[in-house]
Amino acid sequence: MDISTIISFVTFATVASFTPGPNNVMLAASGANFGFRQTLPHILGIVFGFCTLVVAAGLGLATLFAALPWLYDALKIISFVFLLYLAWKIGSAGRAKTKDKDKPLSFLQAASFQLINPKAVTVVISSVTAYTSTAENVGAAVTILLVVFATATICATCTWAVFGTAIARVLNNQHRLRLFNITMALLLLGSLLPSIIAPVLIK
């Protein structure tokens, strides 16, 4: 992978990592409701799960989805149902008095979610396919992708969690917090639209 290709991929990975999606919206909501420290397992779970996805794609996940397109469709359905549940949890979350009941996603939950996260799966498969198809050494190319994605994901997840923590200072009453949570829930549902509309437009 030459330097121009690496620069191109770094740009792609940065944009893909920082733009709003299920992970980033949930991190902002978690930061606002629980603070940065309690959101750390969620952040680490995303990074681990996403990097695992990159390695899996490099080992042939993209080929598997190409051979079994119904499997990808099944994962999208599971993702849609799970995100509906998360949107409801975020939209109905409250402040301190309910924090004992409402908890941020754990490391394992966040890591597992990456396997059915439509944005993550699409970004990883498309990038691995595009940036390794012409590489002489696929292993080296996947390693570069892994390092770049890991760095971009760490920066993006921390930024969105800090954003949520910072905006929590404005959410100093129950009404504002509830409005914020409902907005985050709607944005979470909205993040599903590209994966739902794109196949329809293609057809």
Return the higher-pLDDT residue of 141 and 161: 161
Chain mean pLDDT for the chain: 79
Report yes or no on whether pTM surpasses 0.95. Answer: no
Q: Give residue 148's pLDDT.
A: 94
| Residue 195, pLDDT above cutoff 60 | no
**Sorting pLDDT into bands at 50, 70 and 90, what band is 196?**
low
| Torsion angle of the four alpha carbons 28, 79, 98, 164, in this order, in degrees rounded to the nearest 10 | 0
pLDDT (mean) for 11-28: 89
Give the least confident one: 80-84, 106-110, 144-148: 80-84
**Sorting pLDDT into bands at 50, 70 and 90, what band is 79?**
low
Give the least confident one: 54-58, 164-168, 187-191: 187-191
pLDDT (mean) for 36-44: 95
pLDDT digits (tens, 9 = 90+) for 3-15: 888 888 899 899 8
pLDDT (mean) for 18-40: 90
